[in-house]
Amino acid sequence: MPPKTNSLGLEREEYKAAKSTLCPGCGHDSIANQIISMAYDLGINQHNVIKLSGIGCSSKSPAYFLGRAHSFNSVHGRMPSVATGATLANRSLTAIGVSGDGDTGSIGLGQFKHLVRRNVPMIYIVENNGVYGLTKGQFSATSDEGQVLKYYGKNELPALDLPLEAIIAGCTFVARSFSGDAKQAQTLLKAAMSHRGTALLDIISPCVTFNNAPESTKSYPYGKEHEIPLHEITYYERGAVPPREEILVDEYAAGEVIEVEMHDGSFIKLKSVDKDHDPRNRESAIKVLEKATMEQQFLTGLLYYEEPRATLADTLHLTETPLVHLPAEKLRPSQAALDSLMKDFM
Ligand SMILES: Cc1ncc(C[n+]2csc(CCOP(=O)(O)OP(=O)(O)O)c2C)c(N)n1
Ligand code: SF4
Ligand SMILES: [Mg+2]
């Protein structure tokens, strides 16, 4: 039997990259596998993708997926500024950033919030394990308040909620998932690929070496037992027709279904499970997250979605032609223009 291939005639194997050097069972490896499956299923052309990361076990992940894509492993917490530059220099690239809770929530929080505020078009994945895995498990900005770790004592500080930070900063696609829920994470990844603007995916990704005790909200046992998906989510590629019996309604209440059309004509269908949450309502998304924090609920799914707003390249009125493809004479002022400018200073 010939091997199974996708719309580009490629096998899933061809979307893989280097062999992982992370600890066996690390949640980050599940996410790399989910990115591989997403890209294979959607028939993504890897040459049009740039992978970006900072520093951390999570930030090593881009080495383990899409081996034919462009890649830039930056400095700790500085991936957002590199991503901003890369996506401005070549607006035709699809950017996939992988970061950690330390990389984004601790050292990189300022950079992250400005990336979101500027609406840099990219998928921004936080592999959130609630510790600094690479440097041996210190508390991060998303560690549980009151958590006790053998070598570091008690965490006295409240945790930051990265989806909440993203919504407040103006993010138009905000989701949370669990590395142990491969189907949901893959569907959200596919939807995020169709979004025009920053799409934040905060994926709880357990560190099996330093933060996997059942009472930690970032552990596998906790996630498996406490995950509350807000809805069943299905992604339909552009042109796909959903089964006929599915009646889509405008008003969203528990048990009903909404359809959210994405920028590229694909759409997602959300069927609420037991929560009355409309992801198109910003106030409701903020309230749901505040309540989840107070009650230690592990809610997953699409938390907030808004019609795409101008991306940074639009705001700066950049030409549609990627800057990297413009000839030098279009990028630089002519000698005559410079001479005339100089005259104004004389
Ligand atoms: C400027 C700078 N400060 C500190 C460090 C040390 N450092 C490396 S990775 C890291 C934290 C990584 O944590 P996280 O982003 O959560 O990734 P994880 O390893 O948990 O996946 C720290 C503090 C560094 N490399 N550079
Ligand atoms: S230390 Fe933790 S985060 Fe790092 S590879 Fe091991 S399990 Fe994963
Ligand atoms: Mg971490």
In a domain, 1, yes or no: no
For the segment 74-97, the average pLDDT, to the nearest whole number, is 98
Whichever domain contains 193, its CATH number is 3.40.50.970
Q: Which residues surround ligand 3, an ion (CB under 5 A)?
A: 100-102, 129, 133
pTM of the model as a whole: 0.94
Q: Domain for residue 110, yes or no?
A: yes
pLDDT (tens digit per residue) in 218-240: 999 999 999 999 999 999 998 87
- Whether residue 342 is contained in a domain is answered as no
In a domain, 148, yes or no: yes
Q: Is residue 325 part of a domain?
A: no
Tokens 């008690």 appear where?
A: 154
Does the C-beta of 131 come closer than 6 Å to ligand 1?
A: yes
pLDDT given at position 242: 60
- CA–centroid distance, 321 to ligand 3, in Å, is 37
pLDDT number for residue 244: 45
Query: 67: alpha, beta or left, given left = phi > 0 and alpha = psi -120 to 50?
Result: alpha
As for how many domains the chain has, the answer is 1
If you average pLDDT over every residue of the chain, what do you get? 93
Burial 222-232 (b: 16+ CB within 10 A, else e): bbeeebebbbe
Residue 171 domain flag: yes
Q: Is residue 330 part of a domain?
A: no
CA distance 128 to 242: 33
Cα 295 to averaged position of ligand 1 atoms, centre (Å): 29
Mean pLDDT along residues 260-272 = 86
Tell me, using a 6 A CB cutoff, whether residue 219 lines ligand 1: no
Q: Which of 260, 330, 344 is nearest to 302 (CA)?
A: 260
- The pLDDT score that the predictor gives to residue 47 is 97
Smallest CA-to-CA distance from 85 within 326, 322, 308 is with 322
List the domain range (segments joined by +) for residue 177. 12-229+275-315
One-letter identity of residue 15: Y
Query: Does the structure show a pLDDT above 60 at 181?
Result: yes
Residues in the chain: 346
Q: Determine the residue of 129, 134, 208, 218 to mutate for testing ligand 1's pocket, defined as the one with the most ligand atoms within 8 A of the Cβ atom.
A: 134
pLDDT beyond 80 at 129: yes
Asked if pLDDT for residue 308 goes beyond 60, the answer is yes
In percent, the amount of the chain with pLDDT more than 90 equals 83
Ligand 1 site, residue 49, Cβ cutoff 6 A: no
Q: Residue 332 falls within a domain, yes or no?
A: no
